[in-house]
């Protein structure tokens, strides 16, 4: 090869040997984990609904207590509520033979009406408002004397009209 015209460079094949592969470089450090996303904002609290009128069944115009009374021997009557009690927890006690009181402070104002089931036969069962705090149930035998043990699955409904 001469350096005069460079024509031989046009036809010459120049083979350049491949060099040796160098060693692999060290592995880079592991990336840092990303941060967790922020929690979303808590939504506003819903609007609280209006309270209903205390103890008055809408559309009826009165509050009511519906139960079945049972009484045996000289024991106090036991009430089993039958699904409706807008008045409150009445405490039933036996005051004397055939006379029973239902007590709840301020629950029985004027306008309270009591309906008590009558077992029929020679017995009489009745109920009435006594005071704002007391209703009375009376059971009498055929001789109009007080008698215990007549209240057996006896229905009672107390209505307090508004």
In a domain, 96, yes or no: yes
Query: How many structural domains does the chain have?
Result: 1
In a domain, 73, yes or no: yes
Which range (14-18, 84-88, 101-105) has the least confidence?
Answer: 14-18
In a domain, 129, yes or no: yes
Strand pairing report for 112-116 and 62-70: unpaired
What pLDDT is recorded for position 46? 63
Beta bridge partners of 33: none
Residue 131 lies in domain: 62-161
In a domain, 80, yes or no: yes
Is 70 exceeded by the pLDDT of residue 151?
yes
User: pLDDT of 60-99, one tens digit each?
Assistant: 789 999 999 999 999 999 999 998 899 999 999 999 999 9
In a domain, 153, yes or no: yes
| CA angle, residues 77, 82, 83, in degrees to nearest 5 | 140
User: pLDDT of 106-141, one tens digit each?
Assistant: 999 999 999 999 777 778 899 999 999 999 999 998
Strand order in the sheet with 112-116: 78-85, 62-70, 154-161, 112-116
In a domain, 106, yes or no: yes
In a domain, 26, yes or no: no
In a domain, 18, yes or no: no
> Are the beta carbons of 147 and 123 closer than 8 angstroms?
yes
């Amino acid at each position: 090869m001469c350096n005069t015209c460079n024509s031989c460079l046009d036809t010459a094949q120049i083979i350049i040997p491949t060099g040796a592969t160098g060693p692999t470089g060290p592995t880079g450090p592991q990336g840092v984990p990303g941060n967790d996303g922020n929690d979303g904002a808590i939504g506003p609290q819903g609007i609280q609904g209006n309270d209903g009128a205390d103890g008055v069944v809408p559309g009826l115009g009165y509050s009511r207590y519906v139960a079945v009374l049972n009484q045996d021997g000289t024991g106090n009557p036991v009430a089993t509520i039958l699904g409706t009690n807008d008045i409150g927890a009445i405490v039933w006690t036996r005051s004397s033979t055939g006379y029973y009181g239902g007590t709840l402070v301020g629950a029985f104002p004027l306008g309270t009406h009591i309906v008590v089931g009558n077992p029929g036969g020679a017995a009489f069962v009745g109920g009435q408002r006594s005071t704002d705090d007391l209703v009375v149930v009376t059971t009498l035998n055929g001789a109009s004397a007080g008698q215990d043990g007549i209240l057996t699955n006896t229905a009672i409904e107390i209505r307090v009209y508004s």
